[in-house]
Amino acid sequence: MQRLLQLPGAMVRPGARGACKADQEAASPVLAPEGGPAPWYQALQPEELQRLQAPEENTSSEVSLEGPCPEAGQGQSQSQPLRHDDLKEMLDTNKDSLKLEAMKRIVAMIARGKNASDLFPAVVKNVACKNIEVKKLVYVYLVRYAEEQQDLALLSISTFQRGLKDPNQLIRASALRVLSSIRVPIIVPIMMLAIKEAASDMSPYVRKTAAHAIPKLYSLDSDQKDQLIEVIEKLLADKTTLVAGSVVMAFEEVCPERIDLIHKNYRKLCNLLIDVEEWGQVVIISMLTRYARTQFLSPTQNESLLEENPEKAFYGSEEDEAKGAGSEEAATSTLPARKPYVMDPDHRLLLRNTKPLLQSRSAAVVMAVAQLYFHLAPKAEVGVIAKALVRLLRSHSEVQYVVLQNVATMSIKRRGMFEPYLKSFYIRSTDPTQIKILKLEVLTNLANETNIPTVLREFQTYIRSMDKDFVAATIQAIGRCATNIGRVRDTCLNGLVQLLSNRDELVVAESVVVIKKLLQMQPAQHGEIIKHLAKLTDNIQVPMARASILWLIGEYCEHVPRIAPDVLRKMAKSFTAEEDIVKLQIINLAAKLYLTNSKQTKLLTQYVLSLAKYDQNYDIRDRARFTRQLIVPSEQGGALSRHAKKLFLAPKPAPVLESSFKDRDHFQLGSLSHLLNAKATGYQELPDWPEEAPDPSVRNVEVPEWTKCSNREKRKEKEKPFYSDSEGESGPTESADSDPESESKSDSKSSSESGSGESSSESDDEDQDEDEEKGRGSESEQSEEEGLKRKTKRKKVAEGLEGSSSDNGSDSNTSSSESEMTSESEEEQGEPASWRRKTPPSGKRAPAAKEISLLDLEDFTPPNVQPVSPPTVVSSSLAADLEGLTLTDSSLVPSLLSPVSSVGRQELLHRVAGEGLAVDYAFSRQPFSGDSHMVSVHIYFSNNADSPVKGLHVGTPKLPAGISIQEFPEIESLAPGESATAVMGINFGDSTQAANFQLCTQNRQFYVSIQPPVGELMAPVFMSENEFKKEQGKLTGMNEITEKLTLPDTCQSDHVVVQKVTATANLGRVPCGTSSEYRFAGRTLTSGSLVLLTLDARPAGAAQLTVNSEKMVIGTMLVKDVIQALTQ
């Protein structure tokens, strides 16, 4: 039907389409170049040319290019040469400029939708052209026409195959791109091979292209699905943000049902999300929404149980949500003793990592996050999306349109969310009508007892709008407000009745229709209104309104016994002139009156029925016949006619006025299907929450070999029964140290230390598992067992280590106070992220405390959100204690403990300039006692003059913003030849700006400045290897700076390297399994951002230095300094 309707439209625009068709027909004669041009073809040329080219370009190229054309001489006067021929000629020349010109013209033809397929052979020859622009245009052509000329397209394949091997990644990628874009089924195997190869390419850009190619191949040949899924699986494991978006897109197109492929990559995707480009973010978020729906429990299941009743009382509209949830709840609550809901940490991870994206500039991303929150977040948290959605209303009208559609759906379920933004939905006269109507919908949904007066006042202004469609919608909206909110029903009704005197007929008609619906709710009280309406029949011409009035009068004729027959009389007169819908209602009215008041209306009814009997419309004739049989008693006495009264005057339920967006939320919000309220092709149903959470351990990821534990004994204790096989640490470790013999003694010791650090993080994992599985009892037993096992192992390694298992909570409080202290400090050392956790003195309370902190521990380390707290900076004395108590290895600590010596004194004030007073300073690298954000600076004064220097103090400093100084106490007097030392603290605000201040003596002032090397702006942090890796994983992308360097021969030994690095920067060494890698960690003093430094020394002096830090400036400078230190 719609197709048929198309035809007229097609006829209307013969210009464009005609030309197109003509060209297609032209294709065949043109293919054989000798064939004479069709007569109409010439006629088309000039006009076409004009459109294609800019005027000046056109004329010049025409002259210069067609001049030398051999055919030009033939018929320049009246018939132009066949243009495709000269294009071919141009393509055949050796000149790149001519080729380019030809290709440009051809592309312009394609852009116009003209057929250029006959040029295929000529164009395809140039696929190997050197000129890159020609090449690109040839690609454009090829992709467009290869499908139609498959055999010829094969000619180009070898070029691309060569391109796939090119050393330049751009060429590899573009070759793959074009190869996969030409839709020729024969080359499917070649494509498959190319994709597979590209998927393991070194360049992430090529891998991204491979991900893009997957859906192309799939659409060409869906039999390849299994192989493609393998590639997808491989690419999903890719860690670069560049690939993530594209591969998820491929996943969604090829195998959206294989949700199991996501498990292992779930956490990685969540963490990468913020760095993925916007388009990828949208795809990933909507996929993760679906994933979360299958893997986690509903966060609202408990709330709905609690809130069910009050909600019912308060909001009519939310009733059925509560009902839905209630029934679900009923089903689940029959299960014995349901455990209280605890949100899966992975679920939380998703919510937390998507939240910042609400601030994205891309409307699509904001919408994606909004729908994720709407579908996945607990009720209390959904509110955050409202603000962002309201912000989108400032955007382009198309964006507004889509957003409002979604807001309309959301506002039905979660009205409270948008209530504060009510005014943002007020309508401006300049809004397009479709936006106005959607805003009206939202306003209506948001209206409640309290805000209805403002809303109605606003509606009043809308009614006077010039846009009549909008006015009609407003009247409908008023009707809905009236039905929803009982309090204002009368007000609305009165308002609508006033509208009945409006001059605009449409407004009146719409009001009548709405009034009719409202009256049905409480007809008894509104006889007056019905009378008023009855009078309107003389004036209103809109059929729907007339019909509504007639229906009302008929229905409530007992309220207006005198008027009703009169109305019928008038209607009978005009019956023949009425519209069908009105006629039907006249019959209806007549029948009803006949039944209630047959005395007055018998004749009228019969008259009407007779008129109807000969009506043109069969429907009306049928209705008349039927009615007559029913109401007029005849001899036969139909069984039904006795019940006629019951049939006609049965009480009718009032219609429910409800939003058209009511049940739309079963579609995923933000989707096309939701917008259209119909399932679009390829729409993936949003699954319901599972009753029971699937096994959360499937998401545990094997962390690629970075835990190197050389101690075989230790490894054994971490055998399978406790940790699931994917538990990360155990797997890779096995392979990592295949030759433990080769490692030095000190190494094995350090790794035993790393093992202890590790064990604490492990115990977290344990706890997390515990949390997830909620198998408290059995679990703790196991962990106790585990703890014991570990304890025995530990004892072999070093004494005093057993304390570490006390944080398992299962351990009793037997350890001495000393070992307790050890466990505490060890924990700090193991995981700086856990500094906020209070380690309770007795093991008994530990589990409870941990349960709370666990959520934070796993991945919530806001290093710069909260100020660094003193415990992170392990004071040297504590470090010394640690050394004595737990660490048998001394190779790490010294570098931390003796930093002062490594940084020499620097001159602050020369003896000459200071008139005898010489001042030096040095960075002591000790935490400044007053303020942990300050760098502590030792100042050494020495008096070389012959008179004492008195009253040494710091004058009022004039400091740049962000820098503050803690002055040293005034030095009363410094005798000649004497020296003194003072300590002052400077907060450099994480910048290397110099702190300028005055050094005052009693009678002099010296301007001095201290500029810190970047390495002094931080303090070491102890962390385990695991911690380090985890933190490093969070600081990729922009925060990672990598530099290559060559280590001189002097820097080959461990000791030297470590010393050089720690001398340059105040960092703590992080244990590391491999001998060739050095890791250091620290936090900047002011903001407490992590600074992670990795030096990967390869044989022959080559090395790579990586610094991960949020403070990119610091990172860059640090790299510079460290390299300088190492290479000198």
423 binds other proteins (CB under 8 A): yes
Q: How far is the CB of 364 from other proteins (least distance, A)?
A: 4
Q: Does 745 bind other proteins (CB under 8 A)?
A: no
1016 binds other proteins (CB under 8 A): no
The CB-of-290 to other proteins minimum distance in angstroms stands at 12
Subset of residues 613 to 652 that bind other proteins, contact rule: CB under 8 A: none
Q: Per rule CB under 8 A, is residue 495 in the interface with other proteins?
A: no
Tell which one of 125, 391, 489, 621 touches other proteins (CB under 8 A): 391
The Cα diameter of the chain in Å comes to 144
Q: Which residue has the tokens 């470590």?
A: 1058
User: Is residue 496 near other proteins by the rule CB under 8 A?
Assistant: no
Query: Per CB under 8 A, does 359 bind other proteins?
Result: yes
> Residue 356, interface with other proteins (CB under 8 A)?
yes
Helix (H, G, I), strand (E, B) or coil at 966: strand
424 near other proteins (CB under 8 A): yes
Q: How many Cα atoms within 13 Å fall on the side-chain side of residue 530?
A: 26
Binding status of residue 246 toward other proteins by CB under 8 A: yes
* Least distance from other proteins to the Cβ atom of residue 254, Å: 12
CA angle 827, 832, 834 (to 5 degrees): 70
Rounded distance between C-alpha atoms, residue 922 and residue 904, angstroms: 6
DSSP E strand boundaries for 226-270: none
Is 473 in contact with 467 (CB distance < 8 Å)?
no
Smallest gap from residue 160 Cβ to other proteins (A): 15
428 binds other proteins (CB under 8 A): yes
Residue 1063 near other proteins by CB under 8 A: no
**Which of 339, 396, 720, 745 is in the footprint of other proteins by CB under 8 A?**
396
Candidates 457-465, 553-561, 752-760, 917-925 — which segment interacts with other proteins by CB under 8 A?
Answer: 457-465
**Residue from 502, 697, 724, 998 binding other proteins (CB under 8 A):** 502
Q: Residues 437-440: contacts with CB within 8 Å, 24+ apart? A: 437/469, 437/470, 437/473, 438/401, 438/404, 438/405, 438/408, 439/404, 440/470, 440/473, 440/474, 440/477
Beta-carbon neighbour count of residue 319 at 10 Å?
15
Number of residues that bind other proteins (CB under 8 A): 123
Q: How far is the CB of 905 from other proteins (least distance, A)?
A: 27
The SS3 assignment for 1011 reads coil
* Residues 772-811, interacting with other proteins (CB under 8 A): none
Question: 471-489 burial, b if ≥16 CB within 10 A, otherwise e?
Answer: bbbbbbbbbbbbbbbeebb
Residue 165 binding other proteins, by CB under 8 A: no
Stretch that binds other proteins, among 69-77, 527-535, 734-742, 861-869 (CB under 8 A): 861-869
Q: Give min distance, CB of 110 to other proteins, in A.
A: 8
* Residues in 371-390 at the binding interface with other proteins, rule: CB under 8 A: 387-388, 390
- 3-class secondary-structure state, position 816: coil
Which x/- pattern over 25-64 shows residues binding other proteins (rule: CB under 8 A)? --------------------------xx-x----------
The answer to whether the CB of 619 falls within 8 A of the CB of 584 is yes
Nearer to other proteins, 464 or 844 (CB): 464
Examine residue 884 and tell whether it contacts other proteins (CB under 8 A).
no
Q: Among 153-161, 602-610, 940-948, 1109-1117, which window interacts with other proteins (CB under 8 A)?
A: 1109-1117
- Residue choice 28, 74, 397, 525 for contact with other proteins (CB under 8 A): 397
Shorter beta-carbon distance to other proteins: residue 229 or 249: 249
| Touching other proteins, residues 674-693 (CB under 8 A) | 675-676, 678, 680-684
Q: Which of 286, 537, 605, 1094 binds other proteins (CB under 8 A)?
A: 286
What is the number of other CB atoms lying within 10 angstroms of the CB of residue 849?
15
Smallest distance from other proteins to CB 37, Å = 25
From 361-369, 720-728, 731-739, 1016-1024, span contacting other proteins (CB under 8 A): 361-369
Q: What angle do CA 687, 691, 692 make, to 5 degrees?
A: 115
C-alpha count within 13 angstroms, C-beta hemisphere, residue 576 = 5
CB 1096 within 8 A of CB 1077: yes
What's 870's DSSP letter? G
In the bound state with other proteins, the residue whose beta carbon lies nearer, of 109 and 591, is: 109
Query: Closest distance between other proteins and the C-beta of residue 176, in Å?
Result: 10
Residues with Cβ < 8 Å from 460, sequence gap 6 or more? 495
Contact between 458 and other proteins by CB under 8 A: the answer reads yes
Out of 303, 915, 931, 1040, the only residue in the binding site for other proteins (CB under 8 A) is 1040
Q: Which residues of 964-991 are buried (b: 16+ CB within 10 A; e: fewer)?
A: bbbebeebeebeeeeebebbbbbbbbbb
Shortest gap between Cβ of 283 and other proteins (angstroms)? 8
Pairing of strands 935-943, 917-923: antiparallel
| Distance (Å, whole) CA 307 – CA 301 | 10
Residue 513 and residue 528: Cα distance in Å, rounded? 17
> With contact defined as beta carbons under 8 Å apart, do 565 and 608 qualify?
no
Residue 862 interacting with other proteins (CB under 8 A): yes
- In this structure, are residues 641 and 629 in contact, taking their beta carbons and an 8 Å threshold? yes
Those residues with Cβ within 8 angstroms of residue 1001's Cβ, 6 or more apart along the chain or in another chain: 917, 949, 950, 951, 952
Q: Does 364 bind other proteins (CB under 8 A)?
A: yes
Q: Which of 951, 1037, 1053, 1055 binds other proteins (CB under 8 A)?
A: 1037
Please pick, from the candidates 243, 249, 620, 952, the single residue that binds other proteins as defined by CB under 8 A.
Answer: 249
User: What DSSP character marks residue 542?
Assistant: -
Question: Judged by CB under 8 A, which of 27, 44, 108, 698 binds other proteins?
Answer: 108
Residues 83-102 that bind other proteins (CB under 8 A): 96-97, 100
- Comparing CB distances to other proteins, the nearer of 98 and 878 is 98
Among 265, 360, 476, 759, binds other proteins (CB under 8 A): 360
State how far the Cα of 1018 lies from the Cα of 923, in Å rounded to an integer: 11
Which residue, 264 or 355, is less far from other proteins as judged by CB?
355
764 is a contact residue toward other proteins (CB under 8 A): no
| Window of 399-407, 542-550, 653-661, 1070-1078 that interacts with other proteins by CB under 8 A | 399-407
The nearer residue to other proteins, 237 or 390, going by C-beta atoms, is: 390
Q: How many other C-beta atoms are found inside a 10 Å radius of the C-beta of residue 79?
A: 15
Q: Decide: 730 and 705 in contact? Cβ < 8 Å.
A: no
Rounded least distance, CB 297 to other proteins, Å: 26
Cα distance between residue 922 and residue 942, in whole Å: 14
Q: Contact with other proteins (CB under 8 A): which of 125, 136, 911, 950?
A: 136
Q: Is 606 in the site for other proteins (CB under 8 A)?
A: no
Determine the Cα–Cα distance for residues 607 and 923; give it in Å rounded to an integer: 112
Is residue 351 near other proteins by the rule CB under 8 A?
no
Q: Please report whether residue 1004 would count as binding other proteins according to CB under 8 A.
A: no
CB-CB contact of 182 with 152 (8 Å): no
Among 339, 503, 599, 652, binds other proteins (CB under 8 A): 503
How many angstroms separate the CA atoms of 983 and 270, rounded? Answer: 46
Dump the DSSP string for 387-427: HHHHHHTTS-HHHHHHHHHHHHHHHHH-HHHHGGGGGGGPP
- Decide if residue 434 touches other proteins (CB under 8 A): yes
Q: Which of residues 181-210 bind other proteins (CB under 8 A)?
A: 181, 183, 203-205, 209
Nearest distance, CB of residue 107 and other proteins, angstroms = 5
Check if the beta carbon of residue 719 is closer than 8 Å to that of residue 677. Answer: no
